[in-house]
Amino acid sequence: MPYTHTQDTLVGLFVATGIASLFFLGLQVSNLSSLSHGDTYEITARFSNSGGLKVKSSVSAAGVKIGNVKAITFDPKTYESVVKMDIDAQYKTLPDDSSASVYTAGLLGEQYVSLDGGGSSEFLKNGSKIEITNSALVLEKALGQFLFKSAEEKKAAPVDDKKGKK
Amino acid sequence: MDNVDSTENNLVSVHNLTFSRGEKKIFDDISLEFERGKITAIMGPSGTGKTTLLKLIGGQLFPERGNVMVNGRNVHHLKRAELYALRKRMGMLFQSGALLTDMTVYNNVAFPLREHTTLPESMIRSLVLMKLEAVGLRGARDLMPNELSGGMARRVALARAIALDPMMILYDEPFTGQDPISMGALVLLIKSLNATLGLTSIIVSHDVHETSAIADYIYVLADGKIVGQGTPQEITQSSSEWVQQFMNGAADGPVHFHYPAKEYMDDLLHSEKPLFPRSRLPDDRTAKRKRYS
Amino acid sequence: MEFFRYLGASTRASFTKLGRASYFLIEILSGLASVIVRPRLLLKQLHSVGVLSFLIIVISGLFVGMVLGLQGFYILSRFGAEETLGVMVAASLVRELGPVVAALLFAGRAGSALTAEIGLMKATEQLSGMEMMAIDPIKRIISPRFLAGFLSMPLLASLFSAVGIIGGQLVGSGLLGVDDGAYWSQMQATLDFKDDIINGIIKSVVFGFVTSWIALFEGYDAIPTAEGVSRATTRTVVNSAFSILGLDFILTALMFGEH
């Protein structure tokens, strides 16, 4: 068949640009690059309430991302939330008495797990459990408590109490 | 039905063929024979389904009843691969030429060779130039189809049709819309190709003089029936009114000048206004079509 | 009475057409094997389907992204959330606008051209002629075009999204002063590769498949006259637009419904 080399070149350029934009979307736009596909190890923490935490929410230490939430399940015996996390293998010197807390990034942001280091000389390893946990701050509860307290202090109208609990 | 005898001299035989489009019967139980090495013409007024007949012979359409034997085989009972193998040995010259508009003349003629053979490009080049020389257009090989006149396009199409050295060529209205010079050139070409390549030719046409000049045998069709057949001499001397009207080009006769209609007075006096005009009804184009062609 | 007859006839005709279209699709798909053996046919079609749509996609993508940046900024700044502009621009492009608008442009640019080309080939007896030369026009003409459309669509959609995100960034951080780092980092933190990018690509693959199918079928099924081809071209654009938008709803419900 008759053909021109220009046509080949143009098609080649087209395909290359298309694939380049795919890479751009993958690496620059989405979280593909931050999901390290290297080795990870798994740790588990139990929270009495994991709040709005989701699978793939980040796990950070001192504000730096070190892993992801892998699974969240409910334990029907203890009524606790069991959160499994994948921690990047390069961070293998986390003390095994570290505590895990569920925090919110900003007032309305996503929730994430924060690990705060302890003083133990033993380190967390694959399958370790974190004993000390702080549950998610549930806004309605906190707000309710705050209103209840201020109402008591003023010893004023009792209506606020009901409103706050809702 | 496959073993209906086809006499050795007949390359194509059509037996008791019936074909209709919607309500209209295009062919009503007709039988035709096409002798090997001869030029056989099918003539008749426009709209008698002459092109349809060629498509039936080429296996593009299926008949309602009857069969078409080509080289001893029933075209409509062949498997797809067998039909394609048979078509490689049939050339067809379409009225419009049907050249592929995105290729040059050269590539158009080379197209069937490249698709069906594994010949080296140097051999293809020689073959293409030979075929183009035969139709007198070797010099036009680098033109695109839209740069050709109608007559030239038809000659290129003819070169393409003979590219694979077929055993027969079907010509669909080869003379229509040609100036006298290209018409003369085509008449000469068809005749000489038939003689030199030993082809069997089937010409569908309504150009009386050109066709009777080269045909060995003529069938005249009208209203789905054969109204006359014979050598050109026999046809011109035929006693049939039909044939006489057609050959002499009389405006009125057995074929009426007027398209069938109700009484003229009635039509003028009554206006009609249907709720949904017929033309808006989706037409049923599914009947008797093979693969949307 | 006449009305019901009309209704019945057109319903029947549309089912018949769907049947023909499905049969046609099966033939296209079974012709794909022969395209793989002859990559040059595919290359030629990639050129006329993909490369020639390139410019319109890039320009439209840039402007859509810029408009998103502008509108998004006005709305988000009311809530003091300009930092999330990148998320808004990227999510709307990658999930919806990229695949959908690119497919609509593709239907208008390449789809209508395909229909007109095939319709005219039919009207000038080129398809019939090819069949009489014992060359299957589906394998030789239709299947390569189908494959080219199908392959080009995801590339064009990614291109559209990528250019749009850059356009949004130009307006957002270039003109309106959104922090450049926040634009990208918020985007990266929120958009998920599998949920957002891959799902967007799947959408565009589906749209490419359907649009190419519609365009080629309308051309192949066109009444072989000038009017018939022009109507078929119109139908391609209209039917593709309906199918793209309808399928987009279904796909979105399937993909993003669970979260």
pLDDT at position C117, please?
Answer: 93
Which residues, 6+ apart, have CB-to-CB distance to B253 below 8 Å? B241, B242, B244, B245
pLDDT at A34 over 70: no
- Position with higher pLDDT, A45 vs B275: A45
Q: Calculate mean pLDDT across residues A58-68.
A: 84
**Per the CB < 8 Å rule, is A11 touching C165?**
no
Query: Which strands form B24-35's sheet, in the order they lie side by side?
Result: B24-35, B10-21, B65-70, B73-74
pLDDT at B140 over 80: yes
Please give the full DSSP string across C111-143, using - where no structure is assigned: IHHHHHHHHHHHHTTHHHHHHHTT--HIIIIIH
Give the nearest chain B residue to A3 (CA atoms).
B103
Of C13, C131, C135, the CB nearest to B282: C13
Q: Is C40 on the interface with A (CB under 8 A)?
A: yes
Of A25, A26, A31, the CB nearest to C189: A31
Q: Calculate mean pLDDT across residues B129-133.
A: 89
Query: For A52-56, B34-38, B163-167, C173-177, which range has the lowest pLDDT when averaged over its residues?
Result: A52-56
Please provide the size of chain A in residues. Answer: 166
- Position with higher pLDDT, B60 vs A35: B60
**Per the CB < 8 Å rule, is C6 touching B293?**
no
Q: Calculate mean pLDDT across residues B228-254.
A: 78
How many other CB atoms sit within 10 Å of the CB of residue C49? 30
Q: Calculate mean pLDDT across residues C83-111.
A: 92
Q: What phi and psi values does residue A41 have, to the nearest 5 degrees?
A: -130, 155
Compute the nearest-CA separation of B159 from chain A (Å).
19
Q: Is A2 on the interface with B (CB under 8 A)?
A: yes
Name the pLDDT band for B2 (thresholds 50, 70, 90): very low
Residues of A in contact with B107 (CB under 8 A): 1-2
Q: B208-228 burial by CB neighbour count: b if 16+ within 10 A, else e?
A: bebbbebbebbbbbbbbebbb
CA distances B207 to B94, B153, B183, C1, C102, Å, are: 16, 19, 10, 48, 53
pLDDT at B120 over 80: yes
Q: Express each pLDDT in A93-129 by its tens digit.
A: 888 888 888 888 766 667 888 888 878 888 888 888 8
Give the orientation angle of helix C112-123 with respect to helix C143-169, to 10 degrees: 160
Residues of A in contact with C191 (CB under 8 A): 29-31
What does the domain layout of chain A look like in residue ranges?
1-30, 37-147
Chains with ≥3 CB–CB distances under 8 Å to A: B, C
Q: What is the dihedral of CA A105, A109, A111, A117, to 10 degrees?
A: 0
**Per the CB < 8 Å rule, is C184 touching A22?**
no
Q: Is C180 on the interface with A (CB under 8 A)?
A: no
Residues of A in contact with B114 (CB under 8 A): 1
Is this prediction's pTM over 0.90? Answer: no
Decide: A40 and A87 in contact? Cβ < 8 Å. yes
Gap between the terminal Cα atoms of chain B: 25
Query: For A34-38, C102-106, C246-250, which range has the lowest pLDDT when averaged over its residues?
Result: A34-38
Compute the nearest-CA separation of C52 from chain B (Å).
17
Q: Express each pLDDT in B152-201 by its tens digit.
A: 888 899 899 888 888 889 988 888 777 888 788 888 888 888 888 888 89
pLDDT at A68 over 90: no
Q: Express each pLDDT in B208-225 by its tens digit.
A: 888 888 888 888 888 788
Compute the nearest-CA separation of B84 from chain C (Å).
5
Name the pLDDT band for A165 (thresholds 50, 70, 90): very low
Residues 70-99 of B with CB under 8 A from C: 84-85, 87-88, 90-92, 94-96, 98-99
pLDDT at position C120, please?
Answer: 92
Give the nearest chain C residue to B114 (CA atoms).
C135
Query: Which of C35, C46, C58 is the mutation pick for testing A, counting most A CBs within 10 A?
Result: C46
Q: What is the average pLDDT value for chain B, to the nearest integer?
A: 81
- Position with higher pLDDT, B77 vs B283: B77
Name the pLDDT band for B280 (thresholds 50, 70, 90): very low
**Per the CB < 8 Å rule, is A2 touching B107?**
yes
pLDDT at A3 over 60: no
pLDDT at position B247, please?
Answer: 76
Percent with pLDDT over 90 in chain B: 4
Strands (E), B55-207: 65-70, 73-74, 90-93, 168-172, 200-205
ipTM: 0.78
Q: Express each pLDDT in C127-146 by its tens digit.
A: 888 888 888 899 889 999 99
pLDDT at B262 over 90: no
- Radius of gyration over alpha carbons of chain A, in Å? 24
Decide: C98 and C206 in contact? Cβ < 8 Å. no
Six-digit token string for B171: 């010509």
**Per the CB < 8 Å rule, is C188 touching A8?**
no
Residues of A in contact with C187 (CB under 8 A): 29-30
Q: Express each pLDDT in C227-257 by its tens digit.
A: 999 999 999 999 999 999 999 999 998 887 6
pLDDT at position C229, please?
Answer: 94
pLDDT at A156 over 60: no
Percent with pLDDT over 90 in chain A: 0
- Position with higher pLDDT, B26 vs B277: B26
pLDDT at position C241, please?
Answer: 95
Of A13, A25, A35, the CB nearest to C162: A25
Cα B121 from Cα B114, distance rounded (Å): 9
**Per the CB < 8 Å rule, is C132 touching B99?**
no
Residue B225's beta-bridge partner residues? B222
pLDDT at A75 over 60: yes
Q: How many CB pairs under 8 A join A and C?
A: 94
Chains with ≥3 CB–CB distances under 8 Å to C: A, B
Cα B202 from Cα B166, distance rounded (Å): 13
pLDDT at C50 over 50: yes
Name the pLDDT band for C56 (thresholds 50, 70, 90): very high
pLDDT at position C251, please?
Answer: 92
Q: Kindly state the helix (H) or strand (E) to which residue B52 belongs, with its residue range.
A: helix B50-57
